[in-house]
Homo-oligomer: A and B are copies of this chain.
Amino acid sequence: MKLKIKEVDVDSSEPGVLIHDDDCLEIGVQEGDRVKISGPKPTILLVSRSDTLMERGFMAVSSSVVKKCGLKDGDVVNVVYAPKPDSVRSIRKKMDGERLEKEEIHAVVEDILESNLTKIEISAWLTALYINGMDIGEIADFTVAMAETGDMIRFDRTPVFDFHSLGGVPGNKITPIVVSIVAAAGIMIPKTSSRAISSACGTSDFVETFCNVEIDAESLKEIAQEVGGVFSWGGSMNLAPVDDMVIKVEHPLGINPRAQMLASIMSKKLAMGATHIVVDIPTGAGTKVPTIEVARQYAKDLMELGDRIGMHVECAITYADQPIGYAVGPNLEARECISILEGNKHPAAVIEKACDCAGIILEIAGIPNGAAKAKEILESGDAYRKFMEIVVAQGGRPDLKSDDLKPGMYSYEFRSPKSGYIHAIKNKEIVSVAKAAGAPADKGAGILFSKKKGQRVEEGEVLFTIYADNEAKLRRAKDVATKYQPMDIEGMLIKRVSPLTAR
């Protein structure tokens, strides 16, 4: 039927159209069905119905969609029922526990990219993946489809190394150290990182405090091939773009189905042209990977998937029962990271983890005793010089010093409520406190630990300091810390158990 466009000045999250109930009946569509509207660029839109907000004969369409269709306010267009895309059938198939063919997976990915699938459908897709899973062959097809629906970078020479961390542990600032060591050894490692999704500070969130991370594909290729290393933000290129669209539905559900997670990591690496990759799997309470068994399964999956898509994959299962190092938050993590490159021996755990991970890469590249060699490159200052080369290539200051990175002006010392030993530092609660303080948006916000797990503290001693860029957020973070008590302090004797305590 013919309807007149009423342009509305706000966008919906899905390209939709609001139509009067009776007109919907006339067209033969329900809420959530699709219609095709005629015009210079015929477009499929999602139907919402109302009998109070719309007059008959009109349809409300957002400005951006009106423009996309090549139409304008007041235009009268023909509106007809449009069938669901075929990929909805593949989603149903996965809901029914069946295996999907390469073409079916590709169509789902393509339809997510083109906004042909609604949030309801993407949610059903992810839920079906979460419950019914995919076999490794399906995941490989999924990975390739996700990579191929975006830009693909191809370097002029190989091997192209990469390093990835599954994340989930706060304070994990090793990436620039690993990249600097590896590049200093003459191995090309164009590393792309992400910003925080649910964490307090992603690698790009702290790297951008001292150099530009928004680097396009052309410059990335140039820097990688000339300097050897890059630490850029993956989001500034169009790598596996479907992943970012899926995250918008995954995040509210709080799920990350195995198939989606594996394809998400590896599709970006594939799109980046990586040929060899080391994956850090932080393992411990409050991370994404609670136990060694789960970590081994991830490692197995990643390596098998690498085999299928022609990529050499090795994994590092790393200790992550507490935050890595002493600093959490953009400026604080940047300072700790750079100070290690400058020669500081503290915190030893960060140095050890960075050298172990870099060492695996060196060994894959044919350099024996990788970890020792990595440490040598770090201690000699070669890693620092390479780091500065990369920083300058990414537009950072040539006289950058770790002390340039300052914590927020407002701080609060969180003190121990009792004497004892630190039995646990809870990763998730630390993230909540740092986020309450304003991280990662406020660069000075974060946490600096005075004590780590296993150490003795006396009542009233400072456990950690919260930093914030403004007073209100500091107060908020203090409240969160007080409520969550992110450190467990207990005596050596946790509980006395005797048959007759009264005896």
Tell me the A6-50 residues at the B interface (CB within 8 Å). 8-13, 16, 18, 22, 25-26, 28, 30-33, 48, 50
Query: Binary interface profile of A, 430-465, with partner B (CB < 8 Å = 1, else 0)?
Result: 000001101011000000000000000000000000
A401 an interface residue at 8 Å Cβ cutoff? no
Tell me the A109-165 residues at the B interface (CB within 8 Å). 118-124, 126-128, 130-132
A400 an interface residue at 8 Å Cβ cutoff? no
A92 an interface residue at 8 Å Cβ cutoff? yes
**Docked complex Cα distance between A122 and B13 (Å):** 17
CB distance from A245 to the nearest CB of B (A): 10
Whether B88 lies near A254 (C-beta < 8 A) is: yes
Q: A30-B251, A32-B252, A131-B95 are in contact. Are A441 and B120 (CB under 8 A)?
A: no
A253 an interface residue at 8 Å Cβ cutoff? yes
- Counting contact residues on chain A (CB < 8 A from B), the size range is 35 or more
A349 an interface residue at 8 Å Cβ cutoff? no
Residues of the B chain whose Cβ atoms lie less than 8 Å from the Cβ of A119:
119-120, 123
Residues of the B chain whose Cβ atoms lie less than 8 Å from the Cβ of A92:
253-255
Residues of the B chain whose Cβ atoms lie less than 8 Å from the Cβ of A255:
92, 95, 124
Q: A11-B53, A97-B131, A118-B252 are in contact. Are A28 and B123 (CB under 8 A)?
A: no
Query: Binary interface profile of A, 286-317, with partner B (CB < 8 Å = 1, else 0)?
Result: 00000000000000000000000000000000
Query: Binary interface profile of A, 301-338, with partner B (CB < 8 Å = 1, else 0)?
Result: 00000000000000000000000000000000000000
**Docked complex Cα distance between A119 and B16 (Å):** 15
Query: Which of B9, B22, B253 is in CB contact (< 8 Å) with A441?
Result: B22
Query: Which of B53, B120, B198, B252 is in CB contact (< 8 Å) with A252?
Result: B120
**Docked complex Cα distance between A116 and B119 (Å):** 17
**Docked complex Cα distance between A127 and B131 (Å):** 9
**Docked complex Cα distance between A136 and B251 (Å):** 32
Closest B residue to A198 by CB, please name it. Answer: B30
Residues of the B chain whose Cβ atoms lie less than 8 Å from the Cβ of A25:
440-441
**Docked complex Cα distance between A119 and B119 (Å):** 7
CB distance from A410 to the nearest CB of B (A): 16
Residues of the B chain whose Cβ atoms lie less than 8 Å from the Cβ of A217:
none
Query: Which of B10, B28, B118, B441 is in CB contact (< 8 Å) with A60?
Result: B10
CB distance from A273 to the nearest CB of B (A): 29
Whether B127 lies near A31 (C-beta < 8 A) is: no
**Docked complex Cα distance between A18 and B62 (Å):** 13
Query: Which of B10, B22, B95 is in CB contact (< 8 Å) with A18?
Result: B10
Closest B residue to A88 by CB, please name it. Answer: B254
Residues of the B chain whose Cβ atoms lie less than 8 Å from the Cβ of A28:
435-436
A67 an interface residue at 8 Å Cβ cutoff? no
Query: Which of B8, B11, B88, B251 is in CB contact (< 8 Å) with A32?
Result: B251
**Docked complex Cα distance between A197 and B95 (Å):** 23
CB distance from A438 to the nearest CB of B (A): 8
CB distance from A388 to the nearest CB of B (A): 30
Residues of the B chain whose Cβ atoms lie less than 8 Å from the Cβ of A441:
22, 25-26
Residues of the B chain whose Cβ atoms lie less than 8 Å from the Cβ of A438:
26
Closest B residue to A64 by CB, please name it. Answer: B53
Whether A121 lies near B32 (C-beta < 8 A) is: no
Whether A253 lies near B120 (C-beta < 8 A) is: yes
A248 an interface residue at 8 Å Cβ cutoff? yes
Query: Which of B124, B130, B254 is in CB contact (< 8 Å) with A123?
Result: B124
CB distance from A408 to the nearest CB of B (A): 14
Whether B18 lies near A249 (C-beta < 8 A) is: no
CB distance from A422 to the nearest CB of B (A): 27
Whether B127 lies near A95 (C-beta < 8 A) is: yes
CB distance from A194 to the nearest CB of B (A): 13
Residues of the B chain whose Cβ atoms lie less than 8 Å from the Cβ of A10:
8, 10, 18, 53, 60
* Residues of chain A whose beta carbon lies under 8 Å from any beta carbon of chain B: 8-13, 16, 18, 22, 25-26, 28, 30-33, 48, 50, 53, 60, 64, 84, 88, 92, 95, 97, 118-124, 126-128, 130-132, 197-198, 248-249, 251-255, 435-436, 438, 440-441
- Sample of 19 A–B contacts (CB below 8 Å): A8-B10, A10-B60, A11-B18, A11-B48, A11-B50, A13-B31, A22-B441, A26-B438, A26-B441, A31-B248, A33-B251, A92-B253, A95-B127, A95-B131, A121-B252, A123-B124, A127-B127, A127-B128, A127-B131
Question: 14 other contacts beyond A28-B435, A119-B123, with CB at 8 A cut-off?
Answer: A8-B10, A10-B10, A11-B48, A11-B53, A12-B48, A13-B48, A28-B436, A31-B248, A32-B251, A84-B254, A92-B253, A120-B123, A121-B252, A124-B127
